[in-house]
Amino acid sequence: MLKKILGGLAAVLVVLVGVIAMQPSEYTVQRTATLPVPKDIAFALVNDFHRWNDWSPWAKLDPDIKTTFGGAQAGVGATYAWVGNEKVGEGKMTILESKPDELVRLELEFFKPMAGVSETRISFKAVEGGTEVVWAMSGANNFVGKAMCLVMDMDQLIGKDFEEGLANLKTVGQAEAAKRAEAEAARVAEEKAAAEREAAEKAAAASAAGQPAVAQPTP
């Protein structure tokens, strides 16, 4: 009887290994969102790792997370490493390619809870209504990764995080755009006030010299 049970278990195990081996050897996760902001604003929030905690879907999962920045301030060569709780694990990101207002390509390394390397691409394209942002990640499925696919694949596991991240990026981008608009309005107002002061000073000087003041157009 024991031999039959062991034989049955062995057969099930062989079938299970075969099913796992047949799972996809690679994975891709991709989400897209349109942000009502200019391309340069969205790009800047991604190209500088120092801004990631403003919108990253994982930033609030561990308030005690330890982060380390290295390499360039932003763009190619910049690195971001983290060590956190079981929700965020441990890993490192490195910017491999940076095309202004078009693309940021990253190498994403996971050390814990499960080791792995993925390529992440975040692209930007001007569209009606703002900027289309595409966040995509791809990598290879090892045996453990294939086994996980039987329960939950990477798209299900990471997809919601990407959606949340893009929503956060929209919120932060809109705040940045509002600040820019306010700064531009203040600049225009200051230029107008300066022009009016200059016109008034010229009129006063002409009056003091006994010359007729020349009306100056107001911008």
Q: Are 109 and 117 in contact (CB under 8 A)?
A: yes
- Does 198 reside within a domain? no
CATH number at residue 114: 3.30.530.20
List, in order, residues 6 or more apart from 61 with CB less than 8 Å away: 84, 85, 87, 88
- Give the tens place of pLDDT for each residue, 37-80: 999 999 999 999 999 999 998 888 888 889 999 999 999 999 99
Question: pTM (2 decimals)?
Answer: 0.75
- Does 8 reside within a domain? no
- Does 160 reside within a domain? yes
- Does 87 reside within a domain? yes
- Does 15 reside within a domain? no
- Does 127 reside within a domain? yes
Q: Are 58 and 176 in contact (CB under 8 A)?
A: no
User: Which token pair is 214?
Assistant: 């020349």
Distances (CA, A) of 207 to 171, 216, 218: 54, 14, 19
Residue span of the structural domain in which 75 resides: 26-178
Residue 82 pLDDT > 90: yes
Number of domains in the chain: 1
- Does 131 reside within a domain? yes
- Does 219 reside within a domain? no
- Give the tens place of pLDDT for each residue, 139-154: 655 545 544 544 456 7
Rounded CA gap, 90 and 142, in Å?
19
